[in-house]
Amino acid sequence: MKEKLLLIPGPSPVHPRIINRLSLPTVSHVGPEMVTELRGAVENLKKIVDCAQGEAFIVAGAGTLAMEMAVLNTVARGEKALIISHGYFGERMVEIFKTFGLEAEVLASPWGQGIYPEELEKKLKESSYAAVISTHVDTATGTCAPIEQYAALLRDREELFIVDGVCATGGIEEYMDSWGIDVILTAAQKCFGAPPGLAILVLSPRALEKRKSMASIPAYYADLLRWLPIMQDPAKYFSTPCVNEIRAFYEATLIVLEEGLEKRFERHRSTARAIRAALREMGFTFFTREDFLAPTLSVVRYLDGLNDKKFRQILYDRGVVVAGGLGPTAGEVFRMGHMGNLSAEQVIFALEAIESTLISLNFPLKPGAAVEAARSYLEGKKPS
């Protein structure tokens, strides 16, 4: 079967270099190759998120494990956190707090919208917290939070600022040192474009000191103090890491740095604008409010008369995979990822497939018009 172009909100398409690294023979988890590449992945990750003095952690697991680890290592029982929720994954963070008997207040926006900095500022005047937690990009709603502005409000306060960067890190600016972020949690399979299987965290010195001040936490594998010696010296052993996935992630971090961070972030923005210009030309609108649109994915409302399952099946048959809606948006939207190492050629292929799918379903489109709208952005003819 011919390979499909995977444009769901993660995993994202995997670059051939990363596939090649993943396919290398498995080596000893404490041998010289693994020591070099895990150490390299840790150092590269810290460069990508601007964290000179903190510590990075790369362990077997998914983004949800990273969420759990971020919470359990920074918020103790008896303390209270503020969760800024923009949708599905903010709600998941609330569930994690409830599961472990931790206390949190929730500052939530309607799905498809976001919390403005002024709303957070007002909340912070009313109370103080052990931590403030925000999803950067919610993959269900497409909302991209103004993280830099949130961080500015917290810079002179005691709260730790924890950012869920699963659908942002490596594709959108996240500067820990210069902005004042204390924890970034993320995963390998979205903006990094590596295969899934890794829970990834970066902690500021202040966040790590908070963990050290906590006598114990309700976790064993998820206790960062057990992983810290391994991240500092990968020749040591705590639990067997997923060797091949880490080697692949190391290659992914090299690709990010070789492209250059500013160039990569700008490419994500221009790609998003290109795709949205084309989709608007086809008549689509977006679920997410304009001022919260994310550079990494789009949540697209269906045209009247366009059936979710039929549209996605025909598109799949034409070589492109997009995702349906989550929760209350199921059947009402499709979600299209445009992150990681996606090329302009892949973007054009996907848009041509969407256009031809609509034409096959008798929607009155001018062939080629949508793709031409996208090319103007991809070729730099319009400001991004």
CATH 3.90.1150.10 maps onto the chain at 5-9+260-378
What is the location of CATH 3.40.640.10 in the chain? 16-259
pLDDT tens string for the chain (384 positions)?
Answer: 689 999 999 999 999 999 999 999 999 999 999 999 999 999 999 999 999 999 999 999 999 999 999 999 999 999 999 999 999 999 999 999 999 999 999 999 999 999 999 999 999 999 999 999 999 999 999 999 999 999 999 999 999 999 999 999 999 999 999 999 999 999 999 999 999 999 999 999 999 999 999 989 999 999 999 999 999 999 999 999 999 999 999 999 999 999 999 999 999 999 999 999 999 999 999 999 999 999 999 999 999 999 999 999 999 999 999 999 999 999 999 999 999 999 999 999 999 999 999 999 999 999 999 999 999 888 876 655
CATH 3.40.640.10 is right for the domain spanning 16-259? yes
Q: What is the 3-state secondary structure (H, E, C) of the chain?
A: CCCCEECCCCCCCCCHHHHHHHCCCCCCCCCHHHHHHHHHHHHHHHHHCCCCCCEEEEEECCHHHHHHHHHHCCCCCCCEEEEEECCHHHHHHHHHHHHCCCEEEEEECCCCCCCCHHHHHHHHHHCCCCEEEEECECCCCCEECCHHHHHHHHCCCCCEEEEECCCCECCECCCHHHHCCCEEEEECCCCCCCCCCEEEEEECHHHHHHHHHCCCCCCCCCCHHHHHHHHHCCCCCCCCCCHHHHHHHHHHHHHHHHHCHHHHHHHHHHHHHHHHHHHHHCCCEECCCHHHECCCEEEEECCCCCCHHHHHHHHHHCCEECEECCHHHCCCEEEEECCCCCCHHHHHHHHHHHHHHHHHCCCCCCCCHHHHHHHHHHCCCCCC
CATH for the stretch 5-9+260-378: 3.90.1150.10
